[in-house]
Amino acid sequence: MKYSLGIDAGGTYTDAVILRDSDGKIIDHGKARTTYPDLLDGIQEVLDGLDQSYMEKVSLVSVSTTLATNTILEGTGYPVALIMIGEEVPNDSSIKYSISVQGGHSSGGNEKNSLDMDSIKEFVGKVQDKVSAFAVSSYFSVRNPEHELKAREVIDEMTGLPVICGHELSQSLGAYERGVTAYLNAQLLPISTRFMETVASEIGRRGIDAKLMMLKCDGSIVGMKEALKHPIESIFTGPAASLVGASYLAKSKDCLVIDVGGTSTDVAMVIDNLPEITDEGATVGGWPTKVEAIRMETSAMGGDSHVWVKNHNVFIGPRRVIPLCVAASKYPEIVTKLKKGQSILKSQLGENIQPTKFFIRTKQEPIELTDREEDLLSRIKDEPLTVSEIYWDSKALPSPMVMASLIQKRLVQAIGFTPTDALHVLGEYDEWDIEASRVGAEILGYFADLDADEIAGKVKDEVAKNMAQNLLSYVFHDLEDSQINKVVRGNHYGGFHVDVPVVLLGGPVQAYVNDIQRLVDAEIILPEYAEVGNAVGALAGKGIKRIEVLIRPNFGESKYNLRPSSVSMFYPGGNETFKSHEEAVEAAREIGHRLIMDYMHEAELDEGEITIDVDRKDVQVHGVGVPMETRFTFLGVGDIKMGKKDIRR
């Protein structure tokens, strides 16, 4: 008997499930707190909690993680430089190290301007000691990647640092969006590589001889080696895992899913057992990308979002913290310090200056710090300190901006009041230290003119309305969010109806079932094993690859010539020219199938059954003998070797 192991490393919990390959039944499951920023301890703890007799028979391990999504949402990625060729970097871009240089190609793949290599070399020389990688995107590189490849060669010779090219990640038009995609991919390389190596080494240490796979953000699964090439494709794998897992657990081929994680709340949909894919690239944390991903509504509000007060108002997020109740279970002195209180004036309050906030040093080693950052970091220890304790040591309040920078660099971890604490106060969740949550609520309530139960209820209500808002914004995507918000937060004799089941996933999500039912008219499903749905989804995905091949005729210089002189075919990684449209069509079909099968082989998905669907669209113009454009879309779907027969029912 063989088994498969699914692991999901989320921002709050690391989950694991063991499925029996013969029928896809869940045999064992477990949860552990995600250890941040080093995930090894959390992974080891959750695996130790599983029945080891099954672990010995595991032949497939598949993982998903919210690391990439959370890194982008929280702005904690590694420093990267972006080089745009033939395209300007927008003035409002927040990218610190960037340059625009001459170069690029036309839509036909011909060189538009020569590449300004001198400017690239000068820029690289200035920033190479300040960044961990480079991203390069050239105008119409999807038609001809020559300039991106030349830039990469020079950067590699000068620095030896990783270089990510836009054409490697997307075949969609939009040089800047491809540049952003490459930029984010480069930011995530060290983080994703460390995560994948951690999983691989731990599986190897346990003597498990298994194929290692990873879920991508479109709900498909690839081999670990392929995943390492493009870590940007692991953004939203948490939501993708929840989507696939929810469909599996609810036994529903069509459903909406609300996944409440530690850092974010995500909504997406499964249609006929496959995730709904966005027509545009995924947008995360305000960054427009060209990553093919599930269509999703997401917000930076989850169970670990920081609840803070200022001017009597209550704010939630966007930063995540360790909940007071969780931290107090490890550091009991937190309750004593909360009861003792802090010397903070209402006028001093801000996100990082809070009476319920603590700071603790992580194991991350500093790389590049300012004098102020070094000074503040030297005063933060490996036990939780309050703002006042840091103040007493320095005789000056810690700078909120400097503290935020240390948190962003993963050198400091914050502890504070969260929606998870609110549920502990209300008696709807009791896994951790209830007293820490209640004392924290009493303190925050004082600054917000509310008692403990009132502020906890306010936080819970806001999280529920945020969940409903995300759900309805997804379903009614052609409506303005402000209009949906009026209905969600108003008092009306009507509301919104949703036709398909809504599946809830997440740790304490059962606390919100009645709230969502009150706000949305729909069938609400809380499936068994909802708390580990993401780990189930890491296993229940399929191998999916989409390839586009474009055919366009080339005409002579005379505008009256309606007979093409040749026909061009563009495909991922290259282009070819043919004498006739028929030859190009035949070649397109051949190369589309070959690219699908090459991908399945590289992604270690070619051992199971593979189906390839082909969609062809022609754009005809009256009087022209051939289509002005022929676009082939190849969709390859493959099953990994696991008990798939009963998984999709």
172-213 per-position pLDDT tens digit: 656 767 777 777 767 766 777 777 788 888 888 888 888 888
Q: Six-digit token pair at 314?
A: 């209550």
Residues 326 and 448 in one domain: yes
For the segment 25-53, the average pLDDT, to the nearest whole number, is 86
Out of 397, 421, 456, pick the residue that ends a domain: 456
Element holding 537 (H helix, E strand): helix 533-540
The tens digit of pLDDT for each residue in 356-389 reads: 999 999 887 777 788 888 888 888 888 999 988 8
For the segment 440-454, the average pLDDT, to the nearest whole number, is 93
pLDDT-based confidence at 644, cuts 50/70/90?
very low
Measured distance CA(355)–CA(109) in Å, rounded: 60
Secondary structure of 148-172 in HEC code, one letter for each residue: HHHHHHHHHHHHCCCEEEHHHCCCC
Out of 410, 434, 456, pick the residue that ends a domain: 456
Q: Six-digit token pair at 190?
A: 């060290």
Cα atoms found within 13 Å of the Cα of residue 36, Cβ hemisphere only: 31
Pairing outcome for strands 80-85 and 58-65: unpaired
For the segment 145-163, the average pLDDT, to the nearest whole number, is 89
Measured distance CA(255)–CA(2) in Å, rounded: 30
Classify residue 82 as exposed, middle or buried by CB count within 10 Å of its CB (0-12, 13-18, 19+): buried
Residues 564 and 425 in one domain: no
For the segment 219-238, the average pLDDT, to the nearest whole number, is 64
pLDDT the model gives residue 155: 92
Pairing outcome for strands 283-284 and 610-619: unpaired
Residues 578 and 439 in one domain: no
Residues 447 and 585 in one domain: no
For the segment 259-275, the average pLDDT, to the nearest whole number, is 81
In a domain, 527, yes or no: no
For the segment 335-360, the average pLDDT, to the nearest whole number, is 86
In a domain, 188, yes or no: no
Between residues 606 and 44, which one has the greater pLDDT?
44
477, 433 Cβ separation under 8 angstroms: no
First-to-last C-alpha distance (Å) of the chain: 22
pLDDT the model gives residue 313: 92
Residues 583 and 447 in one domain: no
In a domain, 196, yes or no: no
Residue 205: CB atoms within 10 Å? 9
Residues 311 and 448 in one domain: yes
The total of structural domains in the chain comes to 2
Q: In whole numbers, what is the pLDDT of the chain averaged over residues? A: 82
Residue 80: CB atoms within 10 Å? 27
Residues 442 and 333 in one domain: yes
Element holding 305 (H helix, E strand): strand 305-310
* C-alpha distance from residue 255 to each of 34, 217, 250 (Å): 28, 18, 9
Residues 436 and 570 in one domain: no
In a domain, 609, yes or no: yes
In a domain, 326, yes or no: yes
Residues 446 and 557 in one domain: no
In a domain, 430, yes or no: yes
For the segment 447-468, the average pLDDT, to the nearest whole number, is 93
User: Would you say how long the chain is, in residues?
Assistant: 649
pLDDT the model gives residue 151: 92
In a domain, 608, yes or no: yes
Is the model's pLDDT at 52 over the cut of 70? yes
pLDDT-based confidence at 76, cuts 50/70/90?
low
Out of 390, 421, 456, pick the residue that ends a domain: 456
Element holding 505 (H helix, E strand): strand 502-506
pLDDT-based confidence at 647, cuts 50/70/90?
very low
pLDDT the model gives residue 649: 28
Contacts of 512 (CB under 8 A, 6+ apart): 260, 460, 463, 464, 467, 504
Between residues 297 and 115, which one has the greater pLDDT?
115
Measured distance CA(103)–CA(116) in Å, rounded: 6
In a domain, 352, yes or no: yes
Measured distance CA(414)–CA(320) in Å, rounded: 8
* C-alpha distance from residue 402 to each of 6, 116, 355, 369, 373 (Å): 39, 38, 18, 10, 6
Q: pTM of this prediction?
A: 0.67
Q: Six-digit token pair at 113?
A: 């301007």
Where is average pLDDT lowest: 98-112, 170-184, 224-238, 322-336? 224-238
Is the model's pLDDT at 407 over the cut of 70? yes
**Domain extent for 616:** 543-638
Is the model's pLDDT at 616 over the cut of 80? yes
